[in-house]
Structure 1
Amino acid sequence: MSTHEAQQPIYEVRCNHDGCTATFTPETGFSSRFARQARHAAKQAGWDVPPPYGKGSRSPLDFCPEHVQRRPR
């Protein structure tokens, strides 16, 4: 996964597409303080991030809305 701690305790999600430098940082303090909440906020914003657990979590890659790999639901 590509959720990184940008500054303690602020998390951001980075796009894993080759050459893409897009990042998503949640706007609310609660969402940016926890990695799981940051990923949930990114999904709500149109990012292609796998769920934190379950069958879909096997994909370790995150993609920005420009590079979405999966079919939108």
Structure 2
Amino acid sequence: AVYTREKELGWDEFRIPGTGGLALATVFAGLCGSSARAVIESPIEYAKVKRQTGQTWHFNEVYQGFFMQLPRT
């Protein structure tokens, strides 16, 4: 959806120099997608690990480790 909107606005025309024609819109769409994945996946991973280790989990800690997972995606 992000890339489609950028294409409608004409933002896909700008190419990053020295990358062989990589569009800036492609990079931005990838960043949006990976950030959304981290937001959705982080609480699921947290609950999974807590359950596997037999610990109780707390709602206010579900994004613990989010900033470690964000660059990984």
Q: TM-score range by the shorter chain?
A: under 0.3
TM-score normalised by length of structure 2: 0.24
Larger helix proportion of the pair: 2
Q: Which has the larger radius of gyration?
A: 2
TM-score normalised by length of structure 1: 0.24
Larger RCO (alpha carbons 8 Å, 6+ apart): 1
